[in-house]
Amino acid sequence: MSRSAAAVSINNIPVSHSAILSIRARILEAAAEMFRGQGYDVSMDSIAAAANVSKQTVYNQFGSKEDLFKAMVADRAAAMRAPLQVQVLDRHPRDMLAEVARQYYTHGCTAYELSYYRMIIGASLQFPEIGEAYYEAGPKAMLDALTQWIAREERVGRLDTGGDPAFAAEHFLGLITARIESRGLLGQDIEMSPNEIERRSRFCAEIFMRAFGPEGLNR
């Protein structure tokens, strides 16, 4: 009670002390790092230590471990939306798709991102809402953006999905992510050389074009 009241008043203060914000940010960052590496089981003591902050401060700011965890996930989900925007360039679909793949391989499936993903999957056993939130902010957002772009291209006659752009988008994401994820989520190495990235990106785009290119789907 008194705890949540305190939290609210902090949030309502229009950023007069930036010190408070920086402390929250520091804790969130440390929490992300610790949770990511060791799962929900990390101790609050080690999170506090990693944030260079006393344990009491963590509790003052976030109330409980569960709340801290959820706040941290929400924070990261918000940060995630930015790079996911598929830039609406007016390039040939093949190039656009290769670029999406390239982006994913270079920024979306780093060992860092994957270990975070792994942790979320593990935690979603315990907190189903977390899994759902991550899905919405991550894969779903990506899928929606891609679906919209495909639909647009279809309207212009540069793609032909037979009227089911969502289905096509799913397939493209599947193409890009599959191997990487099944390996990476289980902790296997997923490093790729720039050459490999380039080859795969083009290849995915090429396969997609064969399936959904303008002359597609009319067998």
Partner DNA sequence: GGGTCTTTAGACTCTAGAGTCCATTCGATT
Partner DNA sequence: AATCGAATGGACTCTAGAGTCTAAAGACCC
- Amino acid occupying residue 210: R
Alpha carbons within 13 A on the beta-carbon side of 134 = 22
Residue 210: contacted member of a copy of itself, DNA, none (CB under 5 to 8 Å, by partner type): a copy of itself
User: Contact with a copy of itself (CB under 8 A): which of 45, 121, 152, 156?
Assistant: 121
3-state secondary structure of 64: coil
Residue 214: contacted member of DNA, a copy of itself, none (CB under 5 to 8 Å, by partner type): none
Fill in the DSSP letter of residue 87.
P
For residue 43, state whether it binds DNA (rule: CB under 7 A): yes
d(CA 24, CA 60): 10
| Least Å from the CB of residue 39 to a copy of itself | 5
**b vs e for 112-129, b when ≥16 Cβ sit within 10 Å of the residue's Cβ?**
ebbebbbbbeebbeebee
- Amino acid occupying residue 68: L
Residue 186: contacted member of DNA, a copy of itself, none (CB under 5 to 8 Å, by partner type): a copy of itself
Q: From residue 47 to residue 86, what is the string marking binding to DNA with x (rule CB under 7 A)?
A: -----xxxxxx-xxx--xxx--------------------
Q: Which CB atom, from 53 or from 205, has the smaller least distance to a copy of itself?
A: 205
User: Contact with a copy of itself (CB under 8 A): which of 54, 89, 111, 128?
Assistant: 128
Residue 94: contacted member of DNA, a copy of itself, none (CB under 5 to 8 Å, by partner type): none
| Least Å from the CB of residue 32 to a copy of itself | 15
Q: Which of 109, 93, 87 is nearest to 172 (CA)?
A: 93
d(CA 151, CA 47): 45
For residue 81, state whether it binds a copy of itself (rule: CB under 8 A): no
Instruction: Quickly count: other Cβ atoms within 10 Å of residue 41's Cβ.
Output: 9
Rule CB under 7 A: which residues touch DNA? 6, 9-10, 16-17, 19-20, 23, 41-45, 52-57, 59-61, 64-66
